[in-house]
Each structure stands twice: as structure tokens, then as C-alpha cells.
């Protein structure tokens, strides 16, 4: 079972792979670290989390999206195809 709890800039990602789904939260924080918004998600695949959650919440920031995807891969999350 893969898990991740990481922050990058104003964004925080917490997720775990519970078999067939990836469940977690993606949050935007203020400069002091106080949570401003939080989105819960449950997706089937790594790329679904990236495309449906991370990319839109970051306003299309490709650098942050790519970096968080890489962190998820390092934590053991896999794309099945």
C-alpha cells in the first residue's frame, strides 16, 4: 500500500492507495501554512489524480503538477499502463 503526505509551496497532498482506488486530499494553504481550501478525492489511477485533481486545483501549473506526480511515483504509486 502506497502513501504520501507532502507539501510543495502552498499545496499539500495526502493520499493512500487502498487497493483499487487512490483516496486522499489536496489542499491550498496560505503563506503561514493555514489551510484555505481542501478537496477530497477518490480516483482509480495515478494519472486520474494528476489530471482531475492536482492540475485543475493548481490552476494548470505544469511544474507543480509534474513535481507532485514524481513524488507520488517515488512513494510507490503506479500507473497500470
Tell me the per-residue pLDDT of 1-55, one tens digit each, with 9 for 90 and over. 899 999 999 999 999 998 889 999 999 999 888 999 999 999 999 999 999 999 9
Whole-prediction pTM value? 0.90
Q: Which domain holds residue 23?
A: 3-74
The count of structural domains within the chain is 1
- Is position 64 within any domain? yes
- Is position 81 within any domain? no
- Is position 79 within any domain? no
Distance CA(41)–CA(1), nearest Å, equals: 17
| Neighbouring residues of 4: CB distance < 8 A, sequence distance ≥ 6 | 13, 14, 15, 16, 24, 71, 72, 75, 77
End-to-end Cα, the chain, rounded Å = 18
Amino acid at each position: 500500500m502506497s502513501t504520501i503526505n507532502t507539501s510543495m509551496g502552498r499545496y499539500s497532498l495526502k493520499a493512500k492507495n487502498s487497493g483499487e482506488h487512490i483516496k486522499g486530499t489536496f489542499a491550498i494553504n496560505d503563506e503561514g501554512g493555514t489551510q484555505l481550501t481542501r478537496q477530497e478525492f477518490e480516483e482509480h489511477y495515478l494519472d486520474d489524480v494528476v489530471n482531475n485533481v492536482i492540475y485543475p486545483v493548481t490552476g494548470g501549473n505544469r511544474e507543480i503538477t509534474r513535481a507532485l506526480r514524481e513524488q507520488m511515483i517515488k512513494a510507490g504509486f503506479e500507473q497500470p499502463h
